[in-house]
Amino acid sequence: MAGSSHGHTPAAWTGVIIAFIGFCVSGAFIVMAQPVGFWAGMVVVALGGVVGWIMRSMGLGMPKDNAVRPTAAATREPVAAES
């Protein structure tokens, strides 16, 4: 998959960074045994997905025509070894 641009878009980076921050918040609050803070962090994780989706809808994601498609070599069935 070398050379593909999968995930290297502003939408992907922004969504992942927001979700990572939410994950860190949830992790900190679960260690402190604070369920409200944990769930607040989980909301931030979900918000990261929503923001990434909205940004992709605005055209900041990977265009559909550049989607990674399997090559003919990747779709061939393996050949059984002859003895």
pLDDT tens digits, the chain, 83 residues: what are they? Answer: 455 556 688 888 999 999 999 999 999 999 999 999 999 999 999 999 999 999 988 888 887 765 555 565 556 666 666 66
* pLDDT value of residue 1: 46
- Rounded CA separation 55/5 (Å): 17
* pLDDT value of residue 28: 96
* pLDDT value of residue 81: 66
For the chain, counts of helices (H) and of strands (E):
3, 0
- Rounded CA separation 46/73 (Å): 37
* pLDDT value of residue 82: 65
* pLDDT value of residue 5: 57
- Identify whether the C-beta of residue 15 lies closer than 8 Å to the C-beta of residue 55: yes
